[in-house]
Amino acid sequence: MWRKDPFPEVVPQFFTAMSPVILDGMAIAHLGGKENGAIIAYDLDTGDVKWRWTEEGPEYASPCLFTMEGMKQIVTLTEKSIVGIGVADGKLLWKLPFVPERRAYNAATPIVDGDTVIYTGAGRGTKAVKIEKQADGFAATELWSNEEVATQFNTPVLKDGRLFGLSSRGNLFCIDSKAGQTAWLDSTQTDRGGFAAIVDVGSVLLALPSSSELIVIKPVGKEYMELARIKLSEKATYAHPVIAGNRIFIKDEDSLSLWILD
| pLDDT, tens digit, 9 for 90 and up, residues 49-71 | 999 999 999 999 999 999 998 99
Sheet holding 205-209, edge to edge: 196-200, 205-209, 213-220, 223-231
- Largest interatomic CA distance in the chain: 57
pTM for the full predicted model: 0.93
Give the residue ranges of DSSP H helices in the chain: none
Matching CATH number, 1-147, of 2.40.128.630, 3.10.105.10, 2.60.120.10, 2.40.160.40: 2.40.128.630
Average pLDDT, the chain: 94
Query: What Å distances lie between residue 248 and 20, 47, 194, 217, 244, CA to CA?
Result: 24, 34, 22, 16, 6
User: Which residues, at least 6 apart from 256, have a Cβ–Cβ distance to it below 8 Å?
Assistant: 249, 250
149-262 and 1-147 share a CATH fold: yes
What is the enclosing helix (H) or strand (E) of 65? strand 64-68
Question: Residues 177-196: pLDDT tens digits?
Answer: 999 999 999 888 787 778 88
CATH 3.30.1330.40 corresponds to the domain 149-262: no
Residues 6+ apart with CB under 8 A from 261: 246, 247, 248
- The total of other beta-carbon atoms located within 10 Å of residue 145's CB is 12
- Domain definitions of the chain by residue range: 1-147, 149-262
End-to-end CA distance of the chain: 42
Find, among 52, 83, 84, the residue nearest to 68 by Cα.
84
Range with the largest mean pLDDT of 51-60, 99-108, 218-227: 51-60
